[in-house]
Every structure is written in C-alpha cells, then in structure tokens.
Amino acid sequence: MQFFNHQTGINFTPIFDQYLNHTAIPTLELKFESSGTVSYRWKTDEPGFQMPVRVGKKGEWQVLHATSDWQKMQTTLKKDEFDVATDLYYVNVTRQ
C-alpha cells in the first residue's frame, strides 16, 4: 500500500481498508435542494474515507472529491437527471 500512496501522492489506505475490512460498500449520499444545489458525502465504516467519484451527466461528468463530511455543489440537473457513474465504481447511491 505504501508504494501506491508514495507513487501517486494520494492516501489510498482508507479506500482499501473499507473494501477489504468491512462488509458494507461505500454509499454516496445525495440531498437535492430546490435552490439548485446538491449536498453529498460518503457514508462508510472506515474513518478518513475519501474517494473521488464522477457525477452529473454521462459524457459530461464532473469529479467530486467526496469525504465523510457534507459538501455542496451547484447543478442545473434535476434529481432524476443527476447520475453517478456506478459502472465505474463499486458503490451504493442514495438520493433525497
């Protein structure tokens, strides 16, 4: 693990620990607001879990650098139009 962390400059340890040591897969929680913002965070068992994920519209993805803390982003997409690239990641997604 230290090799990957050193070579990339990214701490992958919490990501690997989540997938290898816990039965639940990460869940990206999304909360849509009428003001055109979406709040997002990872719900995981592993402290310090951070994993970028592609969201938005297929072919026009944006990369979120989601953590376990709530963050916000502006979007023009409605709740039913806002996608997560679940074909690229082994994750769950909840939408409110």
In tens, the pLDDT along 38-60 reads 999 999 999 999 999 999 999 99
Domain extent listing, the chain: 2-95
Count CB atoms within 10 A of the CB of residue 15. 19
Q: Which two tokens stand for residue 9?
A: 């400059």
Task: Supply the pLDDT for residue 9.
Answer: 87
pLDDT category at 87 given cuts 50, 70, 90 is very high
Long-range pairs for 59-66: beta carbons < 8 A, 24 or more residues apart: 61/85, 64/40, 66/28, 66/40, 66/41, 66/42
User: What amino acid occupies position 4?
Assistant: F
Q: What is the pTM of this model?
A: 0.89
The architecture in CATH of the region 2-95 reads Sandwich (2.60)
DSSP annotation of 1 reads -
Contact of 86 with 61, CB cutoff 8 Å: no
pLDDT in tens, 13-41: 999 999 999 999 999 999 999 889 999 99
* pLDDT over threshold 80, residue 1: no
User: Quick one: how far is CA 24 from the chain centroid?
Assistant: 15
What's the CA gap between 90 and 36, in Å, rounded? 27
Q: Please provide the average confidence, as pLDDT, over all residues in the chain.
A: 94
